[in-house]
Amino acid sequence: MEKTDASSGRTLRLVCFQLRGQELALPIEAVRETLPILPITRVVLTPACIAGVFSLRGDIVPAIDLGVLMGFPRTEVGSDSRIVVISHADSVAGIVVESLRDLRTIDTPLDPPPVNLSAAVAQLLVGVAATETGTVRVLDASAILSAEPLRPLARLEAEAEQGRT
């Protein structure tokens, strides 16, 4: 997925979800599927933003706690919680969210992330869109999968892949 230029005027179709009272979204082309919460197994010695791993049709997939990655406390899993499975290049991960919202189509250019955000959070965003119901923060799947706390895992995955070939 190419990183969307916040000034481009192309139409964005977004999968929206709720996290810590905020509406966040991912471009639909970055979302493979959404799932009800599956059993997630904690893995010791992983970054705090890794909620654990889950089985997706036989593949072991990391579950990212987006709340922790964005500087919030752990996401409380409830009856409305879901896993949003994202992919970019050869990487796949699930993001634990509090609940799904509607699919949205944004026809106006995105505004850049607010300047008062920390650099770590701002780099996860493509931009923000003002809607009738409030602000939607649009995330960048590739930035989530390559975020600083997850880089050691990406290196291990690459090393394991090299060992298989």
Rg (CA), the chain: 16
pLDDT at 8: 54
Burial of 51: CB neighbours in 10 Å, binned 0-12, 13-18, 19+ = buried
Tokens of 65: 């706690």
Which of 76, 69, 75 has the alpha carbon at shortest distance from 121?
Answer: 69
pTM attached to this predicted model: 0.84
Average pLDDT estimate for 15-34: 94
N-term to C-term CA, the chain = 26
Instruction: Specify the higher pLDDT residue, 5 or 63.
Output: 63
pLDDT for 102-156, tens place per residue? Answer: 899 988 889 998 889 888 888 999 999 988 888 899 999 999 998 888 776 665 5
pLDDT at 165: 59
Domains of the chain: 12-157 (2.40.50.180)
pLDDT for 58-94, tens place per residue? Answer: 999 999 999 999 988 898 888 999 999 998 888 899 9
Enumerate helices (H) and strands (E) in the chain, giving the number of each: 4, 10
